[in-house]
Structure 1
Amino acid sequence: MKNRVTGLGGFFFKTKNPDQIKEWYKTHLGIPTDQYGWTFWWHDKDGNKCSTQWSPFEEKSEYFSPSDKPFMMNFRVENLTELLEILKEEGVTIVGETKEYEYGKFGWILDPENNKIELWEPKDSVFLENN
């Protein structure tokens, strides 16, 4: 497999009041937040338009489980199915089942310190069609 991770797909963190945090970042740093946080748009080395998501989550969210950390990274990948097979062979802990949505496929792993990492094979075109 040539490329495993192709970019940062997102950074997610827990907070006591996600709406208040989004408003603070909007007011003080000029981040144009929406209900999910903020989507950064950028171009990869081939000129493709790509996205990275910044999102605060409710402090009690279970989305980062089984990790007890207050954050989760999301990495963009080229071929999620193949990558998960390779990672499993390498002894990496796979969490849950792969899920697919109109905007891409998702899988999850744990690093050696029990940080949950979300792997995303994106379909950026879905976001571009809606903008």
Structure 2
Amino acid sequence: MAGVTGIGGLFFRARDPQALAEWYDLHLGIGFRDGAPWHQAAGPTVFAPFDGDTDYFPADRQWMLNLRVEDLAGLIARLQTAGIHVETRPGEWDSEVGRFARIHDPEGNPIELWQPRA
């Protein structure tokens, strides 16, 4: 059966699209570079609607971006060096599916960083 093969993009509104695009490129290495789209590594992608009253991410946000990472500890260190607050919950966010951390972009959008278990 022919069908969807992956996520082709994530499009959202921003107060300052250029500045936000530069932030994502600088700190997370994603976005357009030299006019070319970001190519992600093959791996799992979770597509999951949440209940409207979930407390898993802020109530004033309709979505949360989850990004797969290879070296969560290294990325956390780089983000903290850049002055970006990183939330971790040892024990709670270290589970059978992997390790997690949470940041917010400059416009307050929640980003979950996920290092899947090998």
Q: When the two structures are superposed, what TM-score results if normalisation uses the length of structure 1?
A: 0.53
Residue aligning to 1:110: 104
Per the alignment, residue 5 of structure 1 pairs with none
- Identity, in percent, stands at 36
SS at match of 2:106: coil
AA aligned to 2:97 is Y
Partner in structure 2 of residue 51 of structure 1: 44
Q: 1:1-131 residue pairs with structure 2 within 5 A?
A: 44=42, 50-65=43-58, 68-98=60-90, 99-123=93-117
Between structures 1 and 2, the one with greater strand share: 1
In structure 2, what residue type is equivalent to 1:103? V
Q: Distance in 1 between matches of 2:88 and 2:53?
A: 20
Q: Give the letter for the 1:57 counterpart.
A: F
1:95 CA drift (Å): 2.6
For the aligned residue pairs, the C-alpha RMSD in angstroms reads 2.2
Distance in 1, Cα, partners of 2:85 & 2:105: 8
Summarize deviations over 1:60-113 as a string: whole Å, max 9, x none.
Answer: 111113x72110010000111111111011011223425211111110001001
| Structure 1 runs not aligned, ≥5 long | 1-7, 12-42, 45-49, 126-131
